[in-house]
């Protein structure tokens, strides 16, 4: 059953990020993104944060959060946070992706995720050669330093109010849908980075 979030959370999220300017078209996607991001760039360049619909998030933004430049990620984040709680049933895949984007990357996470993938019963997982290729690619990607750089470019400049709002999001998600994150993903995200903002949560 969908549990509606506290309406005060919407105000909390948008007020916290109110000073973030709408990004220019050149600030929407990371420079490394090629023409594959054209549809996403057009969507975000022609809509304000409050104009994005659940359909937009599910069909265009989902699977593409990695493409967003820091300015765009921060500007649209209030919508991402509130829609994730308000429309969780429709956006559960997007929510998992958002939680991942809000989690400071760790090499251990990559290894454990790959280990879980290889422990699937025969016939359900990828062939061994593909699994090994995936492991090599994922670890090389992490070791390049890019995932950590993306995370810190997005979040190291947050204000205390913004960080506190994100912590409120994790608290609400834990309360309503914590069971959907059986590997402790929400607690890991908070403990690793967001716990520093506890003093700025909306009590």
HSE on the CB side for 13, CA within 13 Å?
27
* DSSP conformation class of 123: T
Cβ atoms 90, 56 nearer than 8 A: no
Cβ atoms 190, 167 nearer than 8 A: yes
Tokens 């958002």 locate to 98
Task: Show the beta-strand stretches assigned E in the chain.
Answer: none
Radius of gyration of the chain (CA): 17
- pTM to 2 decimal places: 0.86
Q: Which two tokens stand for residue 171?
A: 């608290």
Please tell me the total number of residues recorded for the chain in this structure: 203
Cβ atoms 29, 72 nearer than 8 A: yes
Cβ atoms 196, 163 nearer than 8 A: yes
pLDDT, position 96: 97
Q: Per-residue pLDDT tens, the chain, 203 aa: give them.
A: 454 566 689 999 999 999 999 999 999 999 888 778 999 999 999 999 999 999 999 999 999 999 999 999 999 999 999 999 999 999 999 999 999 999 999 998 888 877 776 665 555 555 667 777 877 888 888 889 899 999 999 999 999 999 999 999 999 999 999 999 998 999 999 999 999 999 887 65
pLDDT, position 182: 93
Q: Tell me the C-alpha distance between 26 and 24, whole Å.
A: 5
Q: Tell me the C-alpha distance between 8 and 135, whole Å.
A: 43
pLDDT, position 32: 82
pLDDT, position 1: 41
String of DSSP letters for 72-92? HHHHHHHHHHHHHHHTHHHHH
pLDDT, position 113: 76
């Amino acid at each position: 059953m969908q549990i509606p979030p506290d309406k005060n959370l919407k105000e909390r999220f948008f007020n916290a990020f109110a000073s973030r300017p709408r990004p220019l078209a050149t600030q929407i996607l990371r420079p490394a993104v090629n023409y594959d991001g054209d549809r996403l760039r057009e969507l975000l360049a022609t809509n304000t944060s409050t104009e994005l619909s659940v359909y937009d998030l599910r069909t265009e933004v989902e699977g593409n959060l990695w493409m967003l430049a820091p300015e765009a990620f921060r500007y649209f984040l209030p919508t991402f946070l509130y829609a994730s709680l308000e429309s969780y049933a429709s956006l559960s895949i997007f929510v998992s992706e958002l939680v991942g984007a809000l989690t400071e990357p760790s090499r251990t996470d990559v290894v454990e995720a790959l280990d879980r993938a290889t422990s699937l019963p025969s016939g359900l997982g990828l062939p061994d050669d593909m699994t090994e290729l995936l492991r090599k690619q994922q670890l090389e990607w992490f070791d390049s330093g890019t995932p950590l750089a993306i995370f810190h470019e997005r979040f190291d400049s947050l204000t205390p109010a913004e960080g506190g709002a994100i912590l409120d999001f994790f608290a609400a998600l834990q309360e309503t849908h914590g069971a959907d994150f059986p590997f402790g993903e929400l607690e890991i995200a908070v403990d690793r980075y967001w716990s520093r903002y506890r003093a700025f949560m909306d009590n």
